[in-house]
């Protein structure tokens, strides 16, 4: 029973099933933005947020089933490659000796044998003599092609998992025209952000520029949902978004002015008594025939008709006021000019240790090397005797056809061999 279980766990069928399931999960994780709040999924996927969250599709790569599939695939690769390596070593060492014991399969004339030996020596085959048999071998390293390929896949999975789970992740908001400085000195500048494109469709795209501590720059690059930017050790995702108000405050006596971001309840005043209380920013409003306003409190796009709700404080009297962008309120010697709302991105900044990326590229290189050994360095073995030769090795057909074409005129008739 144990042998049957082990046989199944190391079988190619089991490995292909695991790979297929991992690809399906990865595809789902690429299509669905990961790591957002339940409210975000309810807004973006209305009606589907329940099943989506229940299946863990908001964090596919951290889910128990994805980690289990990866662990089982690693086990499959270990059983079908690493544990099998002693057998591969023994087979590669015994192949030359075993070929010398095989009876001659193709009879040759004396001139044919000389011609064959000359051909093999010119092709730099290595000769080993056993009694009356010379065994010519080439591409001995090819025996390990399959092992190296399986090992490379295993290392790719392990280093890929390290690249997935070891990075530090930081969620950061940044206003357009400003930048974020990371702990290592890397600067991430947000040049612009838009919630809707030119056609009015939801877009959620930022234009950012990453400058590493050594001065190298990514240049202006566009990122959007599911289309991050990778540069150096960093990977930047378009994660969330928001809209805030802005007001220009000008002292009429001195002419000094400044612009303030309105992202929370605050009181703007010169003397602490007279000023403006900012209460809320709404994305739009509906005005009936009597001139009454009904404020729109939610929207998934840009603020089409933004309106500020403020409380004007003057000599102890508080007056609620609705203010539109471009309008100015004057109180206490200060002018408050409310500006168009500012749309800003929420970035997810992921930094992966440089050694992990280097190891991952090394694993890819090892995989290419292993595949090259498998397809272009197939072990070739030719046992040559005075009466003919035998082709051996894991895939003798190609070499057999090549030698048959070369020695067609020198082969004895089949009955001569009997």
3-state DSSP call for residue 46?
coil
**Mean predicted confidence (pLDDT) in 15-35:** 88
Q: Decide if pLDDT at 414 tops 90.
A: no
* pLDDT 10s digits, 60-90: 988 999 989 988 988 888 887 777 788 888 8
**Contacting residues for 332 by C-beta, under 8 A, at least 6 apart:** 269, 270, 271, 273, 274, 275, 314
Residue 124, phi-psi category: left (phi > 0), alpha (psi -120 to 50), beta (remainder)? left
Residue written as token pair 């789970």? 165
* pLDDT tier, 416 (very low <50, low <70, confident <90, very high otherwise): very low
Nearest CA among 403, 381, 401 for reference residue 391: 381
Instruction: Show contacts of 136-141: CB within 8 Å, 24+ apart.
Output: 136/381, 136/382, 136/383, 136/384, 137/95, 137/96, 137/379, 137/380, 137/381, 137/382, 138/379, 138/380, 139/377, 139/378, 139/379, 139/380, 140/92, 140/379, 141/373, 141/377
Pairing of strands 388-392, 133-138: unpaired
Query: Which has the closest alpha carbon to 232: 252, 212, 247?
Result: 212
Q: Indicate the Cα dihedral angle 317, 320, 324, 327, nearest 10°.
A: -10
Give one DSSP letter per residue of 82-124, joined into a string: ITTHHHHHHHHHHHHHHHHHSPP-EEB-HHHHHHHHHHHHHTT
Q: For 112-120, what is the mean pLDDT?
A: 93
Q: Judge if pTM exceeds 0.85.
A: no
Model confidence at 277: pLDDT above 90: yes
Phi-psi region of 294 (alpha: psi -120 to 50; beta: other; left: phi over 0): beta
Residues 285, 405: Cα–Cα separation, whole Å:
87
The CA distance from 79 to 95, in Å, is 23
Quick: pLDDT tens for 397-408: 989 999 998 988
| pLDDT given for residue 238 in this prediction | 93
Quote the percentage of the chain above a pLDDT of 70: 98
The mean pLDDT of 137-147, rounded to a whole number, is: 91
What is the rounded CA–CA span in Å between residue 206 and residue 380? Answer: 57
Q: What is the pLDDT of residue 415?
A: 38
Question: Which is higher by pLDDT, 14 or 415?
Answer: 14
Lowest mean pLDDT, pick from 47-61, 307-321, 329-343, 378-392: 47-61
| Per-residue pLDDT band at 193 (split at 50, 70, 90) | very high
Count how many Cα atoms sit within 13 Å of the Cα of residue 203 in the half-sphere of its side chain.
18
- Per-residue pLDDT of 201-254, as tens digits, reads 888 999 999 999 999 999 999 999 889 999 989 999 998 999 999 999 999 999
Contacts 24+ apart (CB under 8 A), 365-372: 366/148, 366/151, 366/152, 366/155, 367/148, 367/149, 367/152, 367/153, 367/156, 369/148, 369/152, 370/144, 370/145, 370/146, 370/147, 370/148, 370/149, 370/150, 370/151, 370/152, 371/145, 371/149, 372/145
C-alpha–C-alpha distance, residues 341 and 243, integer Å: 6
Residue 319, SS3 per DSSP: strand
């Amino acid at each position: 029973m144990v042998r049957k279980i082990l046989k199944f766990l190391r079988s190619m069928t089991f490995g292909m099933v695991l790979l297929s399931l991992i690809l399906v999960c990865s595809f789902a994780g690429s299509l669905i933005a990961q790591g957002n709040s339940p409210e975000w999924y309810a807004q973006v996927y209305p009606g589907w947020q329940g099943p989506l969250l229940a299946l863990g599709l908001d964090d596919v790569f951290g889910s128990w089933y994805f980690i289990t599939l990866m662990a089982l695939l690693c086990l499959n690769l270990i059983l079908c490659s690493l544990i099998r390596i002693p057998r591969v070593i023994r087979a590669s060492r015994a192949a030359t000796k075993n070929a010398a014991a095989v009876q001659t399969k193709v009879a040759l004339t004396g001139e044919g044998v000389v011609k064959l030996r000359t051909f093999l020596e010119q092709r730099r085959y290595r000769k080993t003599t056993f009694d009356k048999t010379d065994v010519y071998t080439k591409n001995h390293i090819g025996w390990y092609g399959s092992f190296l390929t399986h090992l490379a896949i295993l290392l790719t999975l392990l280093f890929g998992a390290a690249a997935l789970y070891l990075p530090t992740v930081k969620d950061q908001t940044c206003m357009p025209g400003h930048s974020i400085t990371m702990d290592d000195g890397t600067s991430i500048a947000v040049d612009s952000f838009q919630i809707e494109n030119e056609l009015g469709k939801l877009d959620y795209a930022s234009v950012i520029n990453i400058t590493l501590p050594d001065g190298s720059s990514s240049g202006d690059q566009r990122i959007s949902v599911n289309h991050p930017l990778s540069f150096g050790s960093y990977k930047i995702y378009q994660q969330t978004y928001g809209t805030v108000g802005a007001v220009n405050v000008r002292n009429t006596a001195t002419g000094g002015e400044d612009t303030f971001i309105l992202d929370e309840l605050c009181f703007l005043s010169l003397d602490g008594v007279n000023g403006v209380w900012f209460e809320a920013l709404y994305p739009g409003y509906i005005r009936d025939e009597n001139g009454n306003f009904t404020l729109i409190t939610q929207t998934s796009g840009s603020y089409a008709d933004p309106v500020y709700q403020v409380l004007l404080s003057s000599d102890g009297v508080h007056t609620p006021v609705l203010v539109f962008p471009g309008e100015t309120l004057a109180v206490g010697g200060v002018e408050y000019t409310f500006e168009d709302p500012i749309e800003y991105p929420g970035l997810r900044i992921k930094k992966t240790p440089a050694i992990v990326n280097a190891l991952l590229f090394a694993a890819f290189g090892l995989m290419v090397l292993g595949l090259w050994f498998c397809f272009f360095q197939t072990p070739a073995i030719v046992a040559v005797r005075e009466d003919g030769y035998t082709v051996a090795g894991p895939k003798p057909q190609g070499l057999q056809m090549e030698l048959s074409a070369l020695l067609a005129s020198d082969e004895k008739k089949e009955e001569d061999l009997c």
